[in-house]
């Protein structure tokens, strides 16, 4: 039986969620997965307007540190060259100052002016140098104020801290089977009031043309209040499920991908959090069950081992 006919038995494949999801249903052979494990869509946007402030907030800490160093170095070099050009003799120095190289004198004077340190060994003498120094001090004050705001913004922007299991499983569930995957809080933040929405993306042959269709998946335990342990989310594969009656080969042919969005609240930072992930058909293990990632010690305390949320075992078929 064709994949489209199997889907038609329980749902209308034309009633997909492409518009609601915000992603196209067009498909071409070789398309990459929709959603990467880092939560970003595999979309390259051409011509978008980028804000420098936003880029500085979202770039990696290494790139941010290199940008700060580069900015500080370039500004100092530019103003040092200006001092050398307009009036080097307008830079005064104490008699015991031991630096005599003209460029280094201008560079050190620029660094002291930019940071408003003012050791006293270097000082402006002429009105021209005083004017340039005043301008550089303003640049320094504004620059450090902006970088202070950026540092606060980066530290206050708490990551969602939700870790998903490496695989989703097709496991026995109730009187049938279910699609299962796990999540856990990998940091010591208090996360509460979490909910999940899941969408299944499948490529089907629609009138001779491969088309990507989107189907919402019902999750039995789609909400939890507290999050101290792992959260195993389960989609029952019953007669209302788009996966009902599909074989492993059907799922592979359709290049199925399970798209996940988890929403919650971080009590530590006082912010809403959002976490995205997906599982492609290669990351779905059939006939397997998750292992229990926690146990009770002799004191009656629940010990949760975060690194074991990925562990599973294959079910032996009788």
Give the CATH number, domain containing residue 129.
1.10.287.70
Q: What is the pLDDT of residue 4?
A: 59
pLDDT for the residue numbered 49: 79
Rg of the chain in Å (alpha carbons):
30
Same domain (yes/no): 260, 274: yes
Same domain, 188 and 110: no
- Based on the fold, state whether residues 143 and 172 are members of the same structural domain: no
Strands of the chain (E only): list them: 91-93, 122-124, 162-164, 168-173, 176-185, 191-206, 209-217, 223-226, 231-236, 257-266, 271-280, 284-286, 288-290, 294-296, 302-304, 312-314
| Same domain (yes/no): 219, 269 | yes
Confidence of residue 104 (pLDDT cuts 50, 70, 90): very high
Of the ranges 13-17, 82-86, 140-144, which one carries the lowest mean pLDDT score? 13-17
pLDDT, mean over the chain: 88
When pLDDT is averaged across residues 273-279 and rounded to a whole number, the result is 93
Average pLDDT over residues 6-20: 55
Query: Is the model's pLDDT at 278 over the cut of 80?
Result: yes
The residue among 219, 182, 160 whose CA lies nearest residue 306 is: 182
Q: Which of the listed residues 156, 190, 211 is the one where a domain comes to its end?
A: 156
Residues 173 and 107 in one domain: no
**Among 124, 156, 188, residue at a domain's last position:** 156
pLDDT of 177 > 70? The answer is yes
Same domain, 306 and 292: yes
Please state, in angstroms and rounded to a whole number, the distance separating the CA atoms of residues 26 and 155: 39
Same domain, 82 and 215: no
Judgement on whether residues 100 and 197 belong to the same structural domain of the protein: no
Indicate the number of domains in the chain. Answer: 2
Q: For position 172, which CATH number holds?
A: 2.60.40.1400
Inter-residue contact 198 to 180 (CB < 8 Å): no
192 lies in the same domain as 309: yes
DSSP annotation of 282: G
Q: How confident is the model at residue 270 (pLDDT cuts 50, 70, 90)?
A: confident
Question: pLDDT tens digits, residue range 241-269?
Answer: 999 989 999 999 999 999 999 999 998 87
Average pLDDT for 173-201: 92
Q: How many Å apart are CA 51 and CA 310, to the nearest integer?
A: 38
Measured at the CA of 267, the angle between CA 263 and CA 272, to 5 degrees, comes to 30
Distances (CA, A) of 206 to 7, 159, 203, 216: 12, 40, 9, 19
Q: Reply yes or no on whether the pLDDT at 11 is more than 60.
A: no
**Which pLDDT score is estimated for 187?**
86
Domain boundary pick from 125, 156, 187: 156
Same-domain status, 141 and 221: no
112-171 pLDDT per residue, tens: 999 988 888 999 999 999 999 999 999 999 999 999 999 888 887 777 789 999 999 999
Positive or negative, the CA dihedral 295, 298, 302, 307 is negative
Instruction: Answer positive or negative: Cα dihedral of 53, 154, 151, 70.
Output: negative
Residue 35, pLDDT score: 86
Nearest of 167, 183, 248 to residue 221 by alpha carbon: 183
Number of CB atoms found within 10 A of residue 27's CB: 18
Express each pLDDT in 21-73 by its tens digit. 788 788 878 788 888 888 888 888 888 777 788 888 888 889 999 999 999 99
pLDDT for 169 = 96
**Containing structural domain, residue 207:** 3-46+160-314
Q: What's the confidence (pLDDT) of residue 107?
A: 94
């Amino acid at each position: 039986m064709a994949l489209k006919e199997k889907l038609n038995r329980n749902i209308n494949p034309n009633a997909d969620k492409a518009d609601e999801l915000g992603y196209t249903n067009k498909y071409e052979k070789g398309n990459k997965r929709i959603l990467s494990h880092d939560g970003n869509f595999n979309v390259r946007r051409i011509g978008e307007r980028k804000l420098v402030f936003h880029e500085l907030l979202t770039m990696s800490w290494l790139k941010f540190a290199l940008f700060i160093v580069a900015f500080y170095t370039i500004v100092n070099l530019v103003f040092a060259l200006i001092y050398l050009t307009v009036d080097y003799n307008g830079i005064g120095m104490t008699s015991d100052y031991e630096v005599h190289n003209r460029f280094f004198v201008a560079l050190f004077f620029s660094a002291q002016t930019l940071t408003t340190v003012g050791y006293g060994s270097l000082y402006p003498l002429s009105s021209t140098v005083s004017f340039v120094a005043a301008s550089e001090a303003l640049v320094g004050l504004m620059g450090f104020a902006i970088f202070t705001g950026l540092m606060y913004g980066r530290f206050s922007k708490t990551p969602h801290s939700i870790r998903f299991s490496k695989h989703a499983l097709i496991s026995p569930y109730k009187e049938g089977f279910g699609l299962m995957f796990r999540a856990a809080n990998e940091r010591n933040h208090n996360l509460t009031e979490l909910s999940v929405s899941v969408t299944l993306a499948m490529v089907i042959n629609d009138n001779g043309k491969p088309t990507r269709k989107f189907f919402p998946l019902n999750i039995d335990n789609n909400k939890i209040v507290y999050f101290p342990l792992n959260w195993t989310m389960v989609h029952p594969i019953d007669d209302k499920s788009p996966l009902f009656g599909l074989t492993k080969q059907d799922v592979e042919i359709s290049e199925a991908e399970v798209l996940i969005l988890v929403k919650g609240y971080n009590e530590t930072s006082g912010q809403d959090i959002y976490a995205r992930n997906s599982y492609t058909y290669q990351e779905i293990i059939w006939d397997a069950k998750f292992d229990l990632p926690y146990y009770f010690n002799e004191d009656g305390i629940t010990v949760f081992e975060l690194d074991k949320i990925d562990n599973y075992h294959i079910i032996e078929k009788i």
